[in-house]
Amino acid sequence: MMVTLTVNGTQHSLDTEPDTPLLWVLRDQLNLTGTKYGCGIAQCGACTVHVGGQAMRSCVTPLSAVQNQEVITIEGLSDDGLSHPLQVAWREIDVPQCGYCQSGQIMAAAALLASNPNPTEEDIASSVNNLCRCGTYLRINKAILQAAEARGQHKNQTQGEAS
Amino acid sequence: MITSLEMSRRGFLKASGLAAGGLVLAFQLPLIVRQARGASPSGGTLNAFLTLDPEGRVTFFSPFIEGGQGVYTALPQIIADELDVAFETISVEQAPAGEAYKIMFGGTQRFTGGSMSVRSSYTAMRQAGAAARQMLLQAAADRWEVPIGELDTQPGRVVHAASERSIGYGELAEAAGALEPPTDPPLKDPSRFRYIGKPIQRNDSTAKANGSAQFAIDVRLPNMAYAAVKQSPVLGGDVASMDEAAIADRPGVISVERLPGAVAVIADTYWHAQSALDALPVEFENAAAAGLNSEQLAEEMQGRVDEAGMTAESHGDVEAAFLDAERVIEAVYQMPFLAHATMEPMNATADVTAERCEAWVPNQGVDVVVQQIAEITGLSADNITVHTPYIGGFYGRRFITDYGQQAVRLSKAAGRPVQLIWSREQDTQHDYFRPMVTLKHRAAIDAEGKVSGWHVTVVGDGPFKRLMPQFMQDGIDSSALEGVTEQPYTIANRRVDWVSHDYPVKIGFWRSVGHSYNGYVTESFIDEMAEATATDPLEFRRQLLGEAPRYLNVLDSVAEMAGYQPSVQEENGRRSAYGIALHLSFGSIVGEVAKVSIEEGRPRVHKVWCAVDCGSMVNPDTIEAQIQSGISTGLSQTLLEEITIENGEVVQKNFDTYRFLPPSLMPDVEVQIIESGAEMGGIGEVGTPPVAPAVASAVYKLTGQRIRRLPMARHDLTASA
Ligand code: FES
Ligand code: FES
């Protein structure tokens, strides 16, 4: 069966079994390896991507569920791979250690910020619950708060200019 | 000398695959490592860590892997200081296998582990940078025909103040490369360090924040197939039979292969391989662990705690102390098997042809991997290239590269590149676990109420005995005993005995190895001694540290930083308590205080304060990150982690049942680094051992329950809270 989906702005039509998890389509067929396999059972969040703007664990998302949908992976989060406020904060705070979980962490955090630009620590705790075996949790929290603040400031500036 | 340099250079170029790549290497800066190799006057080995291109870009070949611990940042910091270049101009590549990169233990070893990377290479890296700088100065002196003493460097340039001339390093690269390397280059005065000791930012954060960082699991080669593997669920079994025909028609399946103790399916995608394998009927037989139950094993080991064993360490007369004792206290502690649960599961990619093998194998020691591939393929080491990209966590697991051997066998069988990925279920069940260990501690209390004797028996094997018997000393496995031997406390009569106990479960090195349990048990028993002598745990330790001022300083520092309180605190109706612990591992002394309360029958750790005396340091920000990381691991094993075995099969198979610390349980962490000037200590593992005893100490204050078996998830603390 042909499944059509858009990934990071590019449309793909794939002749793949519709029950194939999106994770493996991204990694093995589209060579988008920034999205990681950690557990395959929705426990760790290493595979988090956005589908229609929502954070989804791609290891348990069948291809059929994203038919005609917009998928964003870590590779598509910002145009240059540098400028999303979370990427800036991640770099400034040096969040990553081994780095393997970090694509998923950032994608989970980005979905949160998109729906809640000013999250409290409790908001972060309830929506970014991805596992990190290196224990970078404290810096992840710090970076999300910093990114939210930076974005807020940026917004205020642009609004100020517009008015 | 020239000849050996030339040979080393050619060997290096070949081994690193650079010669064919068309990259112009202006020169390589060799290093004479002057680490003492016994009393041999002939000295050292030639090494090649640095290249400099005509544009002045420096490439550093790291003998250590980057798996999160920050070594790809710390080592270039050292080089940048001594070579006098901007840190940003250095790019890092993983050094290939080979003698040139064995810089540990007098030039005999190379591995990433034991929290040794920075401290074992600190001097060598300084010399590498300084020797290169000296050669550049000499090249400029030759060119300008001025005495070398009139020259100095600025980042990336040699300058001659008298004539107001300066020249970029890149322009000197070729001439410098033709020079004989100095044997004793002058090192920078530490007061002039620009990078060493500073919180320089990591050079891998950007790539790890946009998905471009390459792990072995991300390797993509033309014509590459994917493989999934299934090993005997009852540990240590062989394949008895399988029905390949049953999956022959499944999509994408290329072949079904037998491996030692396993079957594998090769397919066009990993998903095709794994789902076909899941459907493959296969029977295993002759399992070494048939019938084994971990609970029964624990009981067997507990039955041996009074055996004589082998004595690993003895001071004074322990027997006499116990004979003369007024009172004796004793306790038996039980520690579980633990899994590494690295986020990047075991995986490897291999491309084997008749002439050569290229492989990507996450590893902590590349030379062994090359050797294993040579044995499997019959190729000579010259024709084997092993790459070690960024590693998605290692913690000791990737010393053993069983998955790498499987990938090589599969590529050889399939005649094409193969990427093998262990499912999380395979990864968890077929780990080399942190050993199960039983420990008995006894203390003799004399008529004055002082501890006069301390006797410890450790029952259980460590990873040295199983995996690296060359490190056994007089028949003793120090990897099982580290952290209970070499105690700083002044107790005149003490002895540590070891009872080896074998079982058919694979064990290995787990973050902080023997310290992971000895830190907990030893420090918890120190608390038990404190209680027996009616002294607060902090005060008791202070009394026994009269001969160990470094330890005492760390203890006092962390107690002060935390505002340690001996008694249970009551704030807004919530009871909380402070627990304290102190432990030396890998050359660093670490004190930690945990502030804990009990919520719904479980310990809730609010904050951990940590003082670490690592002697001296290279990057304080990396140290903070590693201590946070070590504390997360320590708390994880305190609260949650345990592998159990029933009928020879590992019960926990994925993260739903093998639980490790989630973000909701991460405490706040505050770190104080103490540069005492002592020999540089390790960092990667040292935060882990003191967590469990600090938490247990607080739990005891809150509940009156002395936890002697981890994880704490086993214990319901509700009733006593
Ligand atoms: S891989 Fe999808 S949640 Fe772990
Ligand atoms: S950074 Fe290593 S698992 Fe999160």
Could you tell me the residue ranges of all domains in chain A?
2-76, 85-162
* CB contacts, 8 Å: B208 with chain A: 90, 96, 99, 102
Q: Is residue B77 domain-resident?
A: yes
B135 and B179 housed in the same domain: yes
Same-domain status, B154 and B303: no
Provide the domain limits for residue B34. Answer: 9-207
Q: In this predicted structure, what is the pLDDT of residue A152?
A: 82
Does a structural domain hold residue B240?
Answer: yes
- The CA-atom distances, in angstroms, between B308 and each of B326, B456, B457, B569, B700 are 23, 11, 8, 44, 31
Q: Which residues 12-71 of B are in CB contact (within 8 Å) with A?
A: 67-70
Residues of chain B with C-beta less than 8 angstroms from the C-beta of A137: 632, 663, 666
Report residue A62's pLDDT band, with 50, 70 and 90 as the boundaries.
very high
Q: How far apart are CA B592 and CA B2, in angstroms?
A: 53
Nearest-Cα distance to chain B for A22, in Å, is 10
Q: Give B 374-393 residues with CB within 8 A of chain A.
A: 390-393
Set of chain A residues whose Cβ sits within 8 Å of the Cβ of B641: none
Residue at B4 is within a domain: no
Least confident of A1-10, A41-50, B549-558, B687-696: A1-10
Beta strands in B149-261 (DSSP E): 151-154, 157-160, 165-168, 225-231, 238-242, 253-259
Taking the CA of residue B606 as centre, how many other CA atoms within 13 Å lie in the half-sphere pointing to its CB? 14
Q: What are phi and psi of B445, to 5 degrees?
A: -110, 125
Q: Which of B214, B424, B633 sits opposite A38 (nearest CB)?
A: B424
The third-level CATH classification (topology) of the domain covering A2-76 is Ubiquitin-like (UB roll) (3.10.20)
Please tell me whether residues B108 and B186 are part of one structural domain. Answer: yes
The token pair that represents B116 in the structure block: 């040794």
Check whether residue B701 and residue B642 sit in a common domain: yes
**What is the average pLDDT across A16-23?**
96
Ligand nearest to the CA of B421: 1
For B245-303, give the secondary structure using H, E and C. Answer: HHHCCCCCEEEEEEECCEEEEEECCHHHHHHHHHHCCEEEECCCCCCCCHHHHHHHHHC
Cα angle value B336/B705/B525 (rounded, 5°) = 65
Stated as kind and residue range, the H or E segment containing B91 is strand B90-94
B313 and B280 part of one domain: no
Give the integer Cα–Cα distance in Å for B403 and B359. 12
Q: Which ligand is nearest to the CA of B633?
A: 2
Q: Domain ends where: B367, B400, B421?
A: B421
Give distance in angstroms: CA of A56 to centre of ligand 1.
10
Mean pLDDT of A13-39: 97
Determine the Cα–Cα distance for residues B644 and B653; give it in Å rounded to an integer.
Answer: 10
Model confidence, pTM: 0.93
3-state SS assignment for residue B126: helix
For ligand 1, the distance from its centroid to the CA atom of residue A18, given in whole angstroms, is: 19
pLDDT means over runs of 10, chain B (721 residues): 30 30 32 30 43 89 95 97 96 92 87 93 91 93 98 97 96 87 90 97 97 98 98 97 96 97 98 98 96 98 97 98 98 98 98 98 97 98 97 97 98 98 98 98 96 98 95 95 96 97 97 98 98 96 97 98 97 94 98 97 97 98 98 98 98 98 98 97 97 98 97 86 47
Residue labelled with tokens 């099982």: B480
- Which residue owns the Cα nearest ligand 2 atom 4? A132
Cα-flanking dihedrals φ and ψ of residue B63, to 5°? Answer: -75, -10
Question: Residue B435 is encoded by which pair of tokens?
Answer: 């050993």
The ligand placed nearest to the CA atom of residue B390 is 2
- Residue where one domain finishes, among candidates B157, B176, B207: B207
Strand order in the sheet with B451-459: B310-315, B493-499, B451-459, B437-445, B327-335
Residue B3 placed within a domain: no
Say if B119 falls within a structural domain. yes
ipTM over 0.90: yes
A136 touches chain B (CB under 8 A): yes
Give counts: helices (H), strands (E), chain A.
5, 5
Q: Please state which of the four CATH numbers 3.30.870.10, 1.10.3720.10, 1.10.150.120, 3.30.70.1140 is assigned to the domain occupying A85-162.
A: 1.10.150.120
Amino acid B424 reads R
Q: Which of B207, B236, B262 is the last residue of a domain?
A: B207
Residues B351 and B472 in one domain: no
Contacting residues of B for A127, CB less than 8 Å apart: none
Of residues B460, B540, B455, the one with CA closest to residue B503: B460
Q: Which chain A residue is nearest to residue B389, measuring alpha carbons? A: A98
For chain B, say whether A8 makes contact (Cβ under 8 Å).
no
For A92, name the nearest residue in chain B, comparing CA atoms only: B201
- Centroid of ligand 2 to alpha carbon of B550 (angstroms): 33
Q: Does residue B16 share a domain with residue B79?
A: yes
- Determine if ligand 1 sits within 6 Å of the CB of residue A78: no
Cβ separation of B211 and A136 shorter than 8 Å?
A: no
Residue B558 located in a structural domain: yes
Q: How many whole angstroms separate alpha carbon B271 and alpha carbon B282?
A: 19
Q: How many CB atoms lie within 10 A of CB B35?
A: 18
A46 in ligand 1 pocket by Cβ < 6 Å? yes
Residue type, B505: V
Distance B663 CA to ligand 2 centre (A): 12
Q: Tell me, yes or no, if A46 comes closer than 8 A to chain B by beta carbon.
A: yes
Contact B491, B451 (CB under 8 A): yes
- Among residues B307, B402, B406, which one has the least CA distance to residue B352? B406
**Are B375 and B478 found together in one domain?**
no
B534 and B411 within one domain:
no
Structural domains counted in chain B: 3
Judge: B663–A130 Cβ closer than 8 Å, yes or no: yes
Same structural domain, B56 and B160:
yes
Name beta bridge partners: B357.
Answer: B352, B384
Please tell me which residue of chain A has the smallest CA distance to B684.
Answer: A134
Surface of A (67-126) touching B: CB under 8 A: 73-75, 77-78, 81-82, 86-87, 90-92, 94-103, 106, 125
pLDDT, position A155: 66
Residues B202 and B221 in one domain: no
What is the A43 CA–ligand 1 centroid distance (Å)? 6
Q: Could you tell me the CATH number of the domain that includes residue B598?
A: 3.30.365.10
Joined tokens for residue B495: 């002895």
Q: Measured between CA atoms, how close is A26 to chain B, in angstroms?
A: 11
Are residues B710 and B636 located together in one domain of the fold?
yes
* B483: amino acid identity, one letter: G
Put simply, whether B396 touches A (Cβ < 8 Å) is no
Mutate to test the interface with B, among A50, A94, A102, A121 (most CBs of B within 10 A): A94
CA distance B62 to B101: 8
